[in-house]
Amino acid sequence: MRKKQVKLDLIGLKCPIPVLKIAKNIKKINVGDILIVDVDDPKAENDIEELVQNIKIKVLDKVKQTNKLTFKIEKVY
């Protein structure tokens, strides 16, 4: 079965909103699917890393650019 990729643009949102939206969207996708998340709140990086430890998701990639941070997150459970 092919993994589905879902893009989530959270640019302009301040924490804790990005983390809440990630948690909500993780529930909507299937195990093995990928959530690609763009954020620009500097606090989001730490909050997302903490979220990874609390729910069954895995960060496959994290790319820092000048004005945004992109996470590639896989639902593992």
Predicted confidence band at 24 (pLDDT cuts at 50, 70, 90)?
A: very high
Domain assignment of residue 19, given as a range: 5-75
Residue 75: is its pLDDT beyond 90?
yes
Q: In this predicted model, what pLDDT tens digit does every residue of 33-66 receive, in sequence order?
A: 999 999 999 999 999 999 998 898 999 999 999 9
Number of folded domains that form the chain = 1
Is the full-model pTM beyond 0.85?
yes
Q: Which of 6, 8, 15, 36 is catalytic?
A: 15
Concerning whether 15 is annotated as a catalytic residue, the answer is yes
- Here the CATH number for the domain that contains residue 20 is 3.30.110.40
Please state, rounded to an integer, the average pLDDT across all residues of the chain: 94
Query: Hey, what long-range contacts does 12-17 have (CB within 8 A, 24 or more apart)?
Result: 12/40, 13/39, 13/41, 14/41, 14/43, 15/41, 15/43, 15/44, 15/47, 16/47
Predicted confidence band at 1 (pLDDT cuts at 50, 70, 90)?
A: low
